[in-house]
Amino acid sequence: MQSAEPVRRTSDIEEVTNRYLIHPVAASLVPLFAALHVTPNAVSLTGMLFGILAGFAYYHYADLPFAVAGFVLMIAWHVMDGADGQLARLTHAQSELGKILDGICDYVTFIAVYVGLALALSHRFGERIWILVVVSGICHAVQSAAYEAQRQEYAFWGLGRASAKIPDVEMASSAVARSPLQWVLAQLYRQYVRLQWTVCGITPAVHNELSALLDDGPAPPGEKIRARYREVFAPTVRRWSILSSNYRTLGIFAAALLKAPEYYFCFEIAGFGAILIVLLRRQRRRYAAFLGEFS
């Protein structure tokens, strides 16, 4: 049984800066966007533009006004990133294209910022700084995919939201007739989900067991299992939020104020990497314990 999906994200797993700043501001803009018939994809692209401008600003990070401008532009991107999903849910305009575009805009924003900082740092460290930045970017992609997968798992298994349904990554094609573009988008999204599963401690076996539990018997037992899932996993998803883009935005700004962005890239690799390993180990144990309760 799947529940109707609210416009705002659930607060029980929401990261604190999203809950009290980013998403309230985004929510105040969504009715205006809807009244003006602005599409969710247009909001995503506007956010990406703010992110690209942030990259230009951070190229001059050594000048305080530019560092502040970079931070403000990234906050504006966060707001648009929150508004596009709310607008899509409000107007029932969710789509595979929108999910992929949202992810692309996120990555383009950070690529722009990382490139801007790398170009600036190359004046001090030479071309070798690009090795650090590229490795940092790869770590970022893996960590972000892991965090987003945890959120999606919670929305689907804990809340029963249809829009969070995990596509069957083993399917090569859909039985439903699709245009070539729709088919390509579906395959890209499945591959993205496969990447998320690989780096977040979730396996097809876990999905099969959870599906069997929720499909076994009438709705009340299923709702009881979902309630238990929320009780067990809501605190853990909040812990995973340390890997969210919000803390990277704060970290970049702090490093820029210290005039040492290279420290941020080092922490991206070593610090966030160590945090991911710890979270993965705990998550695997937690899934095993949860499934053991119903075996």
Decide if pLDDT at 258 tops 90: yes
Q: Which DSSP state fits 4?
A: P
CA distance 185 to 42: 18
| CATH number, position 23 | 1.20.120.1760
pLDDT of residue 171: 44
Residue 2 lies in a domain: no
Q: Which residues pair with 3 in a beta bridge?
A: 161
Contacts of 80 (CB under 8 A, 6+ apart): 26, 43, 44, 46, 47, 50
Residue 3 lies in a domain: no
Of the candidate ranges 53-57, 194-198, 283-287, the one whose mean pLDDT is the lowest: 194-198
Contacts of 150 (CB under 8 A, 6+ apart): 200, 236, 237, 240, 283
Contacts of 252 (CB under 8 A, 6+ apart): 58, 70, 71, 74, 113, 117, 261, 264
CA distance 135 to 120: 17
Sign of CA dihedral 241, 242, 243, 247: positive
Of the candidate ranges 72-86, 88-102, 170-184, the one whose mean pLDDT is the lowest: 170-184
Residue 187 lies in a domain: yes
Q: Tell me the CA end-to-end span of the chain in Å, nearest whole number.
A: 22
Give the domain extent around 83: 12-292
**Both structure tokens of 35:** 């009244």
pLDDT tens per residue, range 109-141: 999 999 999 999 999 999 999 999 999 999 998
CA distances, 271 to each of 74, 153, 250, 274 (Å) = 22, 25, 15, 5
- Quick check: 71 and 255 in contact, CB under 8 A? no
Q: How many domains does the chain have?
A: 1
DSSP secondary structure string for all residues of 195-245: HHHHHTT--HHHHHHHHHHHHSSSHHHHHHHHHHHHHHHHHHHHHHGGGSH
CA distance 255 to 51: 18
Residue 1 lies in a domain: no
Residue 4 lies in a domain: no
pLDDT of residue 108: 94
pLDDT tens per residue, range 1-43: 344 455 556 678 888 899 999 999 999 999 999 999 999 999 9
Q: Which residues of 39-60 are buried (b: 16+ CB within 10 A; e: fewer)?
A: ebbebbbbbbbbbbbbbbbbbb
